[in-house]
């Protein structure tokens, strides 16, 4: 891969959890793979009182814990700098400009900056404004300035619009990189390659051959130490509006005319624009929300969501959500998409299942009854990344008995290298000025527009059902009933293991 041009990455919120667990380790991995620019500096910014030396020791400790390839990396550690300032106060930005000037003088790096906002969302408009006012966002000949904004991008349609409006007051759209780390996952990008580099799938990829599509993103962990944030967010805002909707878009989009940031993002936007609007009054029929309750899982008593740190005892925030949606266009007319996500489910797994229609006439049997199983294509996003095709095969011997077998591809068979973390890919793309895997402002707004009726209904009707489900189960029974009522069932990933009380290691 080409080496990127010399530049400086400024991380606001450098002493926070995201920087520690994801950003700094990903940068280190890029360094270890020789993918960082020849001249590169990282400036950590935050309220924590570090200086260059103490930030370097802090980072070294974090890398020991979170970066697989860490082996001392003195050269990388020397790239690190720190400025203690409150990003919410305008007074600190003069110092920021001076610090950047100093780093540039010492290193010879031109004024090419990426500002990474790993801060509370309340600062997503403020920081760009102050950067702009201090000339730090101005792009002169031979330089550029980019800003990466973490999720959540807004809390609803109004706030997302307002944030877009504010950002575009100081910046051009092509300077703004809205992160959705699911787009940085290799397996998520592979959805496009599977669909559009093979002649065999695409002819079947439509309402004529597909019965329904199922997307599950399950987590076995609870909210951990993030109760305060999560309680204001819930599964709908935290996972569905962004990560799950990106998966829907990639599964459903039309082929782009070429691989470029605009062509791909235009097609994704069109999917969002074709989503059938949800009817607020009839939401019970297509949406189930749940919240986990205390339960023993593999011998351990796991607490209820309401007993988690930072969560009010009477919280009605959802930790699970299942939704049926339709895409009203030529390709998908009448095909239901069932999507679900939740915390404290039996295992951690994200997968997309394309359920094909059954054959038109039943000829064979399986264990005495007509075999008319539908073929499934399972795209395993994580873990055990791969693709599985399920189809019927003759059982040896007399007669025509059929059983379902698997054709199974595992990414790990392709190479001994671990798949890169999504943040590695996304950081590198931004350094190279490629925004394909970042969300565009209009698409973010469309995704918010789609979920708006849900948020409105929940707000207007606090008694909208919130079902409990014990930790370690696949969410409320009602989510199963929703899909079973239509003669279908969720695929339960790792079912055998989970039924036997084992964690799904795959
Ligand atoms: C984050 C959510 O965006 O995605 C978390 O805020 C969630 O609540 C996480 O745990 C899941 O990401 P991944 O990559 O582990 O599936």
C-alpha 242 to ligand 1 mean position (Å):
11
Q: What is the pLDDT of residues 186-207, one digit of tens each?
A: 899 999 999 999 999 999 999 9
User: What is the CA angle 240-222-501, rounded to 5?
Assistant: 105
C-alpha 222 to ligand 1 mean position (Å):
11
Atom of ligand 1 nearest to the CA of 219: 10
Contacts of 474 (CB under 8 A, 6+ apart): 218, 342, 345, 346, 480, 490, 492
C-alpha 381 to ligand 1 mean position (Å):
13
Best residue among 181, 220, 343, 422 to mutate for probing ligand 1's pocket (most ligand atoms within 8 Å of CB) is 181
Q: What is the pLDDT of residues 383-426, one digit of tens each?
A: 888 999 999 998 998 888 898 899 999 988 888 877 888 999 99
Q: Whose CA is nearest to atom 15 of ligand 1?
A: 219
In this prediction the pTM is 0.93
CB 334 within 8 A of CB 340: no
C-alpha 295 to ligand 1 mean position (Å):
23
pLDDT tops 80 at residue 179:
yes
Catalytic residues: 243
Helix (H) or strand (E) holding 449: helix 441-460
For CA atoms 272, 276, 333, 351, the dihedral sign is positive
Strand-pair category, 210-218 with 337-342? parallel
pLDDT tops 90 at residue 256:
yes
Q: Whose CA is nearest to atom 5 of ligand 1?
A: 238
What is d(CA 237, CA 32) in angstroms, rounded to the nearest whole number?
35
Q: What is the mean pLDDT of residues 82-108?
A: 97
Residues with CB under 6 A from ligand 1: 151, 219, 238, 350
In the prediction, which pLDDT does 506 show? Answer: 35
pLDDT tops 90 at residue 492:
no
- Please name every residue paired with 302 in a beta bridge, in sequence order, or none if there are none: 295
In the prediction, which pLDDT does 505 show? Answer: 39
């Amino acid at each position: 891969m080409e080496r990127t041009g010399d530049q400086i990455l400024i991380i606001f919120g450098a002493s926070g959890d995201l920087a520690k667990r994801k950003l700094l380790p990903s940068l280190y991995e890029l360094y270890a793979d020789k993918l960082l620019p020849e001249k590169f500096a990282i400036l950590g910014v935050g309220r924590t009182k570090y200086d260059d030396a103490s930030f370097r020791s802090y980072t070294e400790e974090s890398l020991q814990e979170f970066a697989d390839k860490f082996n001392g990396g003195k050269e990388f550690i020397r790239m690190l700098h720190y400025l203690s300032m409150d990003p919410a106060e305008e007074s600190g930005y003069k110092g920021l400009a001076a610090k950047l000037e100093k780093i540039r003088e010492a290193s010879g790096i031109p004024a090419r900056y990426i500002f990474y906002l790993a801060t509370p969302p309340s600062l997503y408009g403020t920081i760009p404004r102050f950067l702009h006012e201090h000339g730090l966002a101005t792009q002169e000949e031979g330089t550029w300035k980019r800003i990466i904004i973490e999720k959540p991008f807004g809390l609803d349609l109004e706030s997302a619009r307002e944030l877009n409006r504010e950002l575009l007051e100081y910046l051009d759209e092509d300077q703004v990189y809205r992160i959705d780390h699911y787009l940085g996952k290799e397996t998520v990008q592979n959805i496009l390659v599977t669909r559009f580099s093979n002649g065999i799938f695409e002819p079947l990829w439509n309402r004529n051959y597909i019965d329904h599509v199922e997307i599950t993103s399950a987590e076995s962990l609870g909210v951990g130490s993030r109760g305060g944030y999560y309680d204001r967010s819930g599964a709908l805002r935290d996972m569905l509006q962004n990560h799950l909707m990106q998966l829907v878009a990639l599964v459903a989009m039309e082929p782009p005319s070429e691989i470029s940031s605009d062509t791909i993002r235009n097609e994704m936007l069109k999917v969002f624009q074709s989503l059938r609007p949800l009817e607020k009054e009839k939401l019970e029929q297509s949406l189930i929300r749940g919240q986990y309750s205390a339960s023993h899982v593999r011998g351990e008593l796991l607490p209820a969501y309401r007993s988690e740190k930072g969560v009010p005892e009477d919280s009605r925030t959802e930790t699970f959500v299942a939704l049926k949606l339709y895409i009203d266009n030529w390709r998908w007319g009448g095909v239901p998409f069932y999507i679900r996500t939740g915390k404290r489910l039996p295992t951690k797994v994200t997968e997309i299942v394309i359920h094909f229609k059954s054959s038109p006439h039943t000829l064979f049997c399986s264990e005495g009854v007509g075999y008319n199983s539908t073929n499934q294509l399972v795209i395993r996003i994580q873990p055990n990344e791969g693709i599985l095709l399920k189809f019927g095969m003759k059982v040896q011997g007399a007669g025509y008995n059929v059983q379902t077998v698997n054709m199974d591809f595992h990414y790990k068979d392709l190479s001994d290298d671990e798949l890169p973390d999504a943040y590695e890919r996304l950081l590198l793309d931004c350094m190279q000025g490629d925004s394909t895997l970042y969300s565009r402002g209009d698409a973010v707004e469309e995704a918010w527009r789609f979920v708006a009726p849900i948020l409105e209904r929940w707000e207007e009707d606090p008694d909208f059902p919130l079902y409990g489900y014990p930790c370690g189960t696949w969410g409320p029974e009602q989510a199963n009933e929703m899909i079973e009522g239509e003669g279908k069932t969720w695929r339960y990933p790792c079912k055998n293991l989970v039924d036997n009380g084992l964690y799904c290691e795959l």
